[in-house]
Amino acid sequence: MQRKVRSSSSYSEDELPSLDSWDQTVPEQSKIRLDSMDQNQKCFCEEPDGNYKLYSHENQKYQYCAQCDCERIERVYTKEDTDLEEDVNETLPAMDPELKISVNNEKVESPCQAASLSPGSHIAWVRGMGKILGFQGFTYSHHAIVEKNDGTTLTIIHYAADKNNGNAMRIHRSLLNIHSYDEMGYKALYLIKYSKSILKANPPALVLKRAVARLGEQLYDLTRRNCESFVNFCKSGVSRSLQVAAFLHSSYIKLRDTLVDLATSAKVWLLKAPFLTKDLIKESFSGASKDGLGVVGDTIVFATEGLISTGDINKLYECRRNRDMDMPLFRKTLLERLRVSLARFLVVTYSAVHFGAVGAAIGTATTPGVGTVVGAGIGAAIGAVAGHITFEGVRSMNWSYSNSVTVDTIDDLKRGDHIVLFENVFHPRCHGIVTEVDKRRNRLCIIRNLFAEGVKEEYIPFIKMTRIKYSFGESYPPHVVIERARSKMGTQDYFIILNNCKHFARSQKMREELNF
Section 6-32 average pLDDT: 34
Q: In this structure, are 303 and 365 located in the same domain?
A: yes
What count of other Cβ atoms lies within 10 Å of the Cβ of residue 512? 12
Q: In this structure, are 249 and 383 located in the same domain?
A: yes
In a domain, 450, yes or no: yes
In a domain, 352, yes or no: yes
- Output phi, psi for 270, to 5 deg: -65, -20
In a domain, 470, yes or no: yes
Section 78-106 average pLDDT: 43
Q: In this structure, are 482 and 424 located in the same domain?
A: yes
- Cβ atoms of 214 and 171 within 8 Å: the answer is yes
Q: In this structure, are 431 and 509 located in the same domain?
A: yes
- Residue 465 identity: M
d(CA 231, CA 240): 9
Instruction: For the chain, count helices (H), then strands (E).
Output: 13, 21
Can you list the alpha helix ranges (DSSP code H) found in 202-241?
204-213, 227-236
Q: In this structure, are 286 and 179 located in the same domain?
A: no
What's the CATH number where 157 sits?
3.90.1720.10
Q: Provide the pLDDT confidence category of residue 247 given band limits of 50, 70 and 90.
A: low
Last residue of a domain, one of 341, 357, 388: 388
Last residue of a domain, one of 202, 237, 272: 237
In a domain, 399, yes or no: no
Q: In this structure, are 226 and 262 located in the same domain?
A: no
In a domain, 268, yes or no: yes
438 has pLDDT over 80:
yes
Least confident of 40-44, 201-205, 430-434: 40-44
What count of other Cβ atoms lies within 10 Å of the Cβ of residue 489? 11
Among 142, 148, 123, residue whose Cα is nearest residue 208: 148
Kindly provide the b/e burial profile for residues 171-190, where b requires at least 16 CB atoms within 10 angstroms of the residue's own CB. bbbbebebeeeeebebebbb
**If you average pLDDT over every residue of the chain, what do you get?**
64
In a domain, 424, yes or no: yes
9 has pLDDT over 80:
no
Last residue of a domain, one of 388, 419, 434: 388
* DSSP at 117: P
More confident residue, 198 or 360: 198
d(CA 506, CA 474): 11
Q: In this structure, are 266 and 342 located in the same domain?
A: yes
d(CA 476, CA 512): 9
Section 208-230 average pLDDT: 87
In a domain, 397, yes or no: no
What's the CATH number where 510 sits?
3.90.1720
- Output phi, psi for 278, to 5 deg: -60, -40
Q: Provide the pLDDT confidence category of residue 392 given band limits of 50, 70 and 90.
A: very low
In a domain, 396, yes or no: no
**Number of structural domains the chain divides into:** 4
Quickly list DSSP for 300-325: HHHHHHHHHHHHHHHHHHHHHHTTSS
d(CA 35, CA 32): 9
Helix axes 242-263, 227-236, angle to 10 degrees: 140
d(CA 87, CA 75): 14
Q: In this structure, are 326 and 294 located in the same domain?
A: yes
Q: In this structure, are 379 and 488 located in the same domain?
A: no
For Cα atoms 187, 192, 194, give the angle at the middle one, nearest 5 degrees: 165
The reported pTM is: 0.46
- Residues ≥6 apart with Cβ < 8 Å to 141: 124, 125, 126, 127, 228, 243
Domain range enclosing 18 = 2-89
Section 310-317 average pLDDT: 54
* DSSP at 118: P
CA dihedral 215, 242, 112, 164 (to 10 degrees): 30
Task: Report the pLDDT value the prediction gives residue 326, as an integer from 0 to 100.
Answer: 62
d(CA 125, CA 188): 5
Q: In this structure, are 253 and 383 located in the same domain?
A: yes
- 156-180, pLDDT tens digit by residue? 999 998 888 878 899 999 999 999 9
Q: In this structure, are 249 and 361 located in the same domain?
A: yes
